[in-house]
A and B are shown apart, each in its own frame.
Chain A
Amino acid sequence: MADQQRGSATVPPAGRPQYEKRSGGKRSLITWLAVLVALAVIGTLIFVLTRPDDGANTGTPGEASGSLTVGLTLEPSNLNVRTTPGVALDQVLIDNVYQGLVGLTPGTLDVVPVLAERYEVSEDGLDYRFELRDGVRFHSGTELNAEDVVTSLTETLGDTITAQAPDERTVTIALEQPNSRLLTLLASREGLILEAGADNDLNTSANGTGPYTLASWKQGDSITLRQSADYWGDPATLDTVVFRYIPDGNAAVNATLSGDVDVQTAVLPELSGQFDGNEDFTLHLVESTDVFTLAYNNQRAPLDDLTVRQALSMAIDQDALIAALNGQGKPLGSPITELEPGYRDLTATNGYDPVRARELLWEAGHEILTLTLTIPNHYPPAVSDLLVSQFAAIGVTLEVDQVEFPSWIEDVHANHNFELSFVDHAEAGDFGNYADPDYYFGYDSARVQELYAQALAATDPAQMDDLLGQAATQVADDAVAKWLYNYTPATAVRSGVEGFPMSNTNARINLAGVTVAE
């Protein structure tokens, strides 16, 4: 300021009052002109900004009868189904763009033939024989043959199976030991059939056999699918499907309410109330295989003590947790959900009993106990807050350590450096984690490993279900973890949209038969 004064002090003597007055008049004119121009610019801007409002909805979904916009949360980092893990990619591309020899009936985990016309499994469960459907073409125009299948399956499952093509239309798979999960595997990511001779960049494009082609991927925004011109089966029911990625839960709900999105998956529990009394939308709770798991480090004291783990499990009131999620969850007593083989209602095992929990802790010699929970920071704090208060009720101080997901992978998953951990185990049929002593749970039970191996080798589904059920019961008895709830996310569907899948949409969204009314 002093500078300013000193500097400007030289100005006044330079001009005489009269001279200044005249030029001043001019200058103030210029100032006013500038203000006028600025106002005009702002005015036009406001006009331009508001004018297209009337036409703003043209071009966006809902206009063409065959177009649907689906709101999703998690975007895949690239489109390569061979190298990029994660359900974000499966959700959009499996069933719709890429297909396997077999697939799943939408809404279930039941295996049905897709690119195979029919298949046979030998009595001993070691040999599979698939007969290919005729007239299947890749989006590139090339016809599917047995060589494509053998190349694809050898690439993904070559370590465990031997795939061969006795003729153009037949594929055989030979196993060294029976694997009751093989068909499920073939119906998922590992079983997708790609064109052997194609050289398209899998990171950014897709050449499948499905009813939809990949039209475009706008990174950080959306993936667009278009109806395939010559699909081998019933043609796709929609012309265009846009999957929009909206990571922020509030923005997702706003997008839906303002008409930019027809179907919004996984509406955040705390925001689902915004659809109350809205006649344009119906909220559906979607079955899933997502198990929100409070894992104990079974190798580390004091959690290596069964009594302590039982006490912690009994401290948790699942009903209160589910209420905090606005009912978007189901109680669960083992890692196996109702959708998967081996489900048993085990919620009574180590169920909510804070008084008994406290006694058990005393028996184990832990009147006071402080534990640390490592939790990735993308989960809303509601659940961990509740855990803190429920543990406090039995005298356990829970310290919550929020970390970024890559840190969780490194600390918990890779280095087993944790006491308690909270993540969503979303994969279907992932019980094998409990039969793997090197998994981050650190659970080493010879009986469970034996039962799981037998279940894998079982050739009869009922026998497999029985063996998995026994294993699940053992895992629940051992209080390996607390299975807090089976997430049943809410999907908001605009009226006029029919047939949208209502099960397991976190893992895959099969668009077959989905229609949009005019």
Chain B
Amino acid sequence: MVRTLTLLLGLGVASVIIFLSLRLLPGDVAQVIAGLQASPERVAALREQLGLNAPLPQQYLSWIGGVLTFDLGNSVVTGSPVAGQILEKMQVTLPLVALSMLVGATIALPLGVFTAVRHGRRDSRALSALGILAAAVPIVWAGLLAIIVFSNWLGWFPSQGFPREGWAAPGRALLSLALPAITIGIVEGAVLMRFVRSATLSALNAEHVRSAMSRGHTRLRALILHGLPGVGLSIVSLLGIQIAGLIVGAVVIEQLFNLPGLGRMLVADVGQRDLLKVQSVLLVLTGIILVIGAAVDVLHRLIDPRMRTATA
């Protein structure tokens, strides 16, 4: 109950921030719609028609009122419903984010534990250095490299694009998401790996793990049985935070790999100053991230019995 309230409050505050910060952008959608040759009268008429002359609080209320009745409105530039557009673009972005997470976790979990267990040895140091390097790589550059190696040289994956049939062609759709997902997955996975490593390291030195070892468990066994559950907990909450990062990363990667997803749509809409659409999309994204945060919290509680009684 309290949780739902904080969530709604968070969304409310976010909506105000989104609305106001977008109003700071210079440029006028009416001018963009009317074009360079349009007369000032036509631009003025358009502004009036689009409701851009109304005072800001009124503009905000009419937007948020629509959102509350589950009506995200229509794009002023294309005239098509915003909700439909979001749903369509989600079909690319959500699978991309999910796949990237999968790739990231598959890399980070085993390698993170491995480097922790073999802490101080040469292979572990080499892997850690590689991890730091990968985490420092800008995602665009990683994407360009991935295209050159996996697509241009090896020819394993398509370098760009998404089938026009969408998920009606599931094989090709997955294939076209593979390289972008691997790119984001490796970079984000490298960040995650360092976290897993340090969490595992502290677990290895934790008293309960050491006491398990003293009871005759091998180091690895003690770690798996007693250390990793705790590590798992902290990783679940980190994954929640990372999803936000993944969505942001998707904006860049969608542009590079020419994927018709949410990120590319956002960039285009900001360029056209279709603010009504942009603010609705941002609010939906904020909502998703908040809900994921709440879900992680709940998940935490389910995994960790100590938390169940901790708060109301």
| From B27, B151, B221, contact of A28 by CB (8 A) | B221
CB of B273 closer than 8 Å to a CB of A: yes
| From B152, B171, B226, contact of A8 by CB (8 A) | B226
Output the nearest chain A residue to B261 by Cβ-Cβ distance: A220
Q: How far is the CA of A477 from the CA of B38 in the complex (A)?
A: 29
Output the nearest chain A residue to B74 by Cβ-Cβ distance: A203
A201 proximity list for chain B (CB < 8 A): 79
| A376-421, CB < 8 A from B | 403-407, 409-411, 413-414
Among A76-84, A148-156, A163-171, A280-288, the one that faces the other chain is A76-84
CB distance B79 to A203 under 8 Å? yes
CB of A59 closer than 8 Å to a CB of B: yes
Contacts known (A204-B79, A204-B80, A407-B26); A52 close to B172, Cβ less than 8 A: yes
CB distance A27 to B144 under 8 Å? no
User: What's the A-B contact tally at a CB cutoff of 8 Å?
Assistant: 172
| From A7, A9, A45, A404, contact of B27 by CB (8 A) | A404
CB of A122 closer than 8 Å to a CB of B: no
| B152-168, CB < 8 A from A | 152, 156, 158-165
A85 proximity list for chain B (CB < 8 A): 34-38
CB of B268 closer than 8 Å to a CB of A: yes
Among B2-10, B131-139, B209-217, B239-247, the one that faces the other chain is B209-217
- Indicate the size class of the contact surface on chain B: 35 or more
| From B78, B151, B171, contact of A219 by CB (8 A) | B78
Output the nearest chain B residue to A221 by Cβ-Cβ distance: B260
Among A101-109, A253-261, A298-306, A364-372, the one that faces the other chain is A253-261
B271 proximity list for chain A (CB < 8 A): 404-406
B221 to chain A, nearest CB (A): 7
A5 proximity list for chain B (CB < 8 A): 206-208
A337 to chain B, nearest CB (A): 19
CB of B58 closer than 8 Å to a CB of A: no
| From B212, B221, B306, contact of A7 by CB (8 A) | B306
CB of B192 closer than 8 Å to a CB of A: no
B37 proximity list for chain A (CB < 8 A): 85
B42 to chain A, nearest CB (A): 10
CB distance B36 to A1 under 8 Å? no
CB of B169 closer than 8 Å to a CB of A: yes
Among A110-118, A244-252, A489-497, A498-506, the one that faces the other chain is A244-252
B149 to chain A, nearest CB (A): 13
CB distance A56 to B256 under 8 Å? no
Interface string of B279-292 (1 = CB under 8 A from A): 00000000000000
CB distance B160 to A203 under 8 Å? no
Q: How far is the CA of A250 from the CA of B31 in the complex (A)?
A: 30
A435 to chain B, nearest CB (A): 14
CB of B124 closer than 8 Å to a CB of A: no
Residue of B78, B159, B226, B271 contacting most chain A CB atoms (<10 Å): B78
Interface string of B196-220 (1 = CB under 8 A from A): 0000001100111001100111000
Contacts known (A11-B208, A251-B258); A27 close to B225, Cβ less than 8 A: yes
A197 proximity list for chain B (CB < 8 A): none
B79 proximity list for chain A (CB < 8 A): 78, 201, 203-204
Interface string of B73-114 (1 = CB under 8 A from A): 000011110000100110000000000000000100000000
CB distance A31 to B224 under 8 Å? yes
CB distance B256 to A251 under 8 Å? yes
CB distance B159 to A251 under 8 Å? yes
Output the nearest chain A residue to B31 by Cβ-Cβ distance: A409
CB distance A220 to B268 under 8 Å? yes
| From B27, B152, B156, B171, contact of A51 by CB (8 A) | B171
CB of A277 closer than 8 Å to a CB of B: no
Output the nearest chain B residue to A11 by Cβ-Cβ distance: B208
CB of B14 closer than 8 Å to a CB of A: no
Q: How far is the CA of A55 from the CA of B85 in the complex (A)?
A: 30
Contacts known (A28-B221, A221-B260, A255-B160); A248 close to B208, Cβ less than 8 A: no
Q: How far is the CA of A238 from the CA of B160 in the complex (A)?
A: 25
Output the nearest chain B residue to A377 by Cβ-Cβ distance: B271
Output the nearest chain B residue to A255 by Cβ-Cβ distance: B160
Residue of A52, A204, A250 contacting most chain B CB atoms (<10 Å): A250
Q: Can you sample 22 A-B contacts with CB below 8 Å?
A: A4-B203, A4-B206, A8-B206, A20-B215, A24-B225, A48-B174, A56-B172, A59-B169, A77-B78, A78-B77, A204-B80, A218-B260, A219-B85, A220-B260, A221-B260, A251-B161, A254-B159, A404-B26, A407-B26, A409-B36, A410-B27, A411-B26
19 new A-B contacts, CB < 8 A, other than A27-B225, A49-B178, A251-B258, are A8-B207, A12-B208, A53-B175, A77-B33, A78-B79, A84-B35, A201-B79, A203-B78, A203-B80, A220-B89, A221-B164, A246-B160, A250-B256, A255-B161, A255-B258, A258-B158, A260-B160, A410-B26, A410-B28
